Amino acid sequence: GAGVSQSPSNKVTEKGKDVELRCDPISGHTALYWYRQSLGQGLEFLIYFQGNSAPDKSGLPSDRFSAERTGGSVSTLTIQRTQQEDSAVYLCASSPTGSTNEKLFFGSGTQLSVL
Amino acid sequence: GQNIDQPTEMTATEGAIVQINCTYQTSGFNGLFWYQQHAGEAPTFLSYNVLDGLEEKGRFSSFLSRSKGYSYLLLKELQMKDSASYLCAVGNTGGFKTIFGAGTRLFVKA
């Protein structure tokens, strides 16, 4: 079936505006992750959803960042009052059960540019 | 703390062999992954090691020593298309997330 789908692929916004990034995981995958990748850097963990459990939000950098996952499928990452340092590629990944011995399937990411 | 170290950049010649090292210190360990990421694209899975030793898969091999907190990715018969970033990642038992290193950018030259 289809892989992990993210939209938009590119987003340019002005400082102070809110943005929403969307992720549609592989059907049947119960675990969903958001990572952030700044230019030339590794992947920074943001948030993890596993089934109906409370999400692991330990990686969210500030209270301007929030995420939800509706119906155990599609997830939205919201950044309020964007700042220039929020500019990065936001990657979503899913895995079948969320066990950390499973490989992650990544989407192509959303390139966010805050002017 | 949790830390994954790998070289920032490496350059190798087409047809040659290159070894990309990774050392890690994590609060829990549930296996080590290598992912390949071409510029502007999503990371894709290459290998997974949970036991000590060498896993071979075509031109790519991955090695793990848990006692040393050390892994390497070995790429043989390098091709130009192998130019990419290679991300070392650890499946962490201390929380349901995979922790990534900063990646090694490999440049393959003719």
Say yes or no to pLDDT of A40 above 90.
no
In percent, how much of chain B has pLDDT > 90? 81
Residue B96: predicted pLDDT: 63
Angle A74-B28-B26 from CA coordinates, rounded to 5°: 95
Question: Do A108 and A22 meet the contact criterion of CB atoms below 8 Å apart?
Answer: no
Distance in angstroms between the alpha carbons of the first and the last residue of chain B: 41
- Residues 6+ positions from B37 with CB-CB distance below 8 Å: B43, B44, B84, B85, B86, B87, B103
Residue B64: predicted pLDDT: 98
pLDDT band at A41 (very low <50, low <70, confident <90, very high): confident
Residue A80: predicted pLDDT: 98
Question: Do A34 and A83 meet the contact criterion of CB atoms below 8 Å apart?
Answer: no
Beta strands in A8-107 (DSSP E): 10-13, 19-24, 31-37, 43-50, 65-69, 75-79, 88-95, 105-106
In percent, how much of chain A has pLDDT > 70? 99
Residue with tokens 């995420």: A67
Say yes or no to pLDDT of A1 above 60.
no
**For B82-110, what is each residue's pLDDT tens digit?**
999 999 999 887 656 788 999 999 999 99
Report how far residue B4's alpha carbon sits from residue A28's, in angstroms, rounded to the nearest whole number.
Answer: 31
- Chain B residues within 8 A of A56 when measuring between CB atoms: 95-97
Kindly determine whether residue A42 and residue B103, on different chains, have CB atoms separated by under 8 Å. yes
Say yes or no to pLDDT of A82 above 90.
yes
pLDDT band at A87 (very low <50, low <70, confident <90, very high): very high
**Cβ within 8 Å of A, B 13-42:** 30-31, 33, 35, 41-42
pLDDT band at B2 (very low <50, low <70, confident <90, very high): confident
- Chain B residues within 8 A of A101 when measuring between CB atoms: 30-31, 48, 50, 91
**For B15-53, what is each residue's pLDDT tens digit?**
999 999 999 998 888 899 999 999 888 899 999 999 999
| B interface test, pick of A100, A106, A110 with most B CB neighbours within 10 Å | A100
pLDDT band at A83 (very low <50, low <70, confident <90, very high): very high
Mean pLDDT of chain A: 93
Among partner residues B35, B99, B103, which is closest to A45 by beta-carbon distance? B99
Q: What is the dihedral of CA B32, B38, B40, B42, to 10 degrees?
A: -40
What does the pLDDT average to over A51-71?
91
Residue A63: predicted pLDDT: 95
